[in-house]
């Protein structure tokens, strides 16, 4: 559905993309992760036709980004809403721009009001909304015309639990209906919940791609015990359950707290840096 081949983008002396390749099939969710500055947003902006690459190609269903209006839904990383119109007016505007009319538009709005829980603020101006309400509104503008390709750039940044749950549910639903999704995030648990394929970007290129099991399972997490004498025991392990049982058996003082940490994105980045260097 989406194919990006060898994208290069330079800003002065900064190489934002340096041979960036990524493909996303219909119905697939690709979680695009990477350190700040890895090139994720630049990639999203090129696919959205907001900027042009210096070289390389992007096709969406075989067409260039310039010829795909109405087939792509974009929720940019930074909130980009009109402050003096309401949430409903945003959805009407974006729906009409994509060609929806009357009953089809109304039914698309009704669906999103439920899916993204917009009801409490649908008739309020966006300037007065909370950060999470603005995030949900922005996602709704990307989703209203049921695009075949969704580009969601950190859609849950700063979001509360309710916003995050609603966002993940609607993304899963749309992928289930056949949409290709690019979802950038700094939160690994969201990608396991979405059962996304993970693509790791670094220095302007994708350096690894695979399922959670392929990339992250097997990396060490951490088990931490806090004893009531103030002592703290931390063990790095690939088998937290067995390690925890072992540590509980050995602890010489009563235990006041237990913390089990699964592998994080930083653990993944570290492991890729090691495999890169070797």
Tell me which residues touch ligand ATP (CB under 6 A): 11, 14, 16, 34, 36-42, 77
The least distance separating ligand ATP from the CB of residue 264, rounded to whole angstroms, comes to 15
The least distance separating ligand ATP from the CB of residue 2, rounded to whole angstroms, comes to 17
The least distance separating ligand ATP from the CB of residue 215, rounded to whole angstroms, comes to 18
The least distance separating ligand ATP from the CB of residue 205, rounded to whole angstroms, comes to 11
The least distance separating ligand ATP from the CB of residue 171, rounded to whole angstroms, comes to 19
Residue (11 or 82) nearer to ligand ATP, CB: 11
Residue 40 near residue 32 (C-beta atoms within 8 A): yes
Q: What are the residues facing 210 on neighbouring strands?
A: 198
Residue (197 or 243) nearer to ligand ATP, CB: 197
Residue (144 or 182) nearer to ligand ATP, CB: 182
Residue (144 or 268) nearer to ligand ATP, CB: 268
The least distance separating ligand ATP from the CB of residue 119, rounded to whole angstroms, comes to 31
Residue (38 or 244) nearer to ligand ATP, CB: 38
254 by Cβ neighbours in 10 Å (0-12 / 13-18 / 19+) ranks as: exposed
Residue 70 near residue 123 (C-beta atoms within 8 A): no
37's CB contacts (< 8 A; 6+ apart) are none
The least distance separating ligand ATP from the CB of residue 40, rounded to whole angstroms, comes to 4
Residue (17 or 91) nearer to ligand ATP, CB: 17
Residue (116 or 206) nearer to ligand ATP, CB: 206
Residue (52 or 96) nearer to ligand ATP, CB: 52
The least distance separating ligand ATP from the CB of residue 182, rounded to whole angstroms, comes to 12
DSSP letter for each residue of the chain: -EEEEEEEEEETTEEEEEEEEEEE-TT-EEEEE-STTSSHHHHHHHHTTSS--SEEEEEETTB-GGG-TTTEEEE-SS----TTSBHHHHHHHHHHHTT--HHHHHHHHHHHHHHTT-GGGTTSBGGGS-HHHHHHHHHHHHHTT--SEEEEESTTTT--HHHHHHHHHHHHHHHHTT-EEEEE-S-HHHHHHTTPEEEEEETTEEEEEE-HHHHTTTS-EEEEEEETTS-EEEEEES-HHHHHHHHHHH-SS-EEEEEEE---HHHHHHHHHHHHH-
């Amino acid at each position: 559905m989406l194919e990006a081949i060898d994208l290069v983008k330079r800003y002065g002396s900064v190489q934002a993309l340096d041979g960036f390749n990524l493909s996303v099939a219909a119905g697939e969710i690709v979680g695009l992760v990477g350190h700040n500055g890895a090139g994720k947003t630049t990639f999203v902006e090129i696919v959205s036709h907001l900027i042009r690459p210096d070289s390389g190609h992007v096709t969406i269903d075989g067409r260039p980004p310039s010829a795909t209006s109405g087939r792509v839904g974009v929720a940019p990383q930074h909130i980009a809403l009109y402050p003096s119109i309401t949430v409903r007016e945003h959805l009407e505007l974006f729906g009409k721009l994509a060609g929806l009319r009357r009953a089809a538009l109304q039914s698309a709005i009704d669906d999103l009001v439920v899916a993204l829980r917009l009801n409490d603020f649908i008739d309020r101006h966006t300037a007065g909304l909370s950060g999470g309400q603005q995030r949900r509104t922005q996602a709704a503008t990307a989703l209203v015309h049921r695009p075949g390709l969704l580009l969601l750039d950190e859609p849950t940044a700063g979001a509360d639990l309710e916003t995050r749950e609603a966002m993940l549910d609607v993304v899963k639903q749309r992928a289930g209906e056949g949409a290709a999704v690019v979802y950038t995030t700094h939160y690994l648990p969201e990608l396991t919940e979405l059962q996304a394929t993970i693509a790791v970007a670094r220095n302007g290129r994708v350096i690894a791609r695979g399922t959670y099991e392929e990339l992250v399972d097997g990396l060490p997490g951490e088990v931490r015990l806090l004893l009531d004498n103030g002592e703290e025991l931390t063990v790095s392990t690939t088998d937290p359950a067995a390690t925890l049982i072992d540590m509980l058996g050995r602890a010489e003082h009563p235990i006041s707290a237990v913390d089990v940490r699964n592998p994080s994105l930083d653990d993944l980045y570290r492991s890729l840096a090691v495999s890169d260097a070797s």
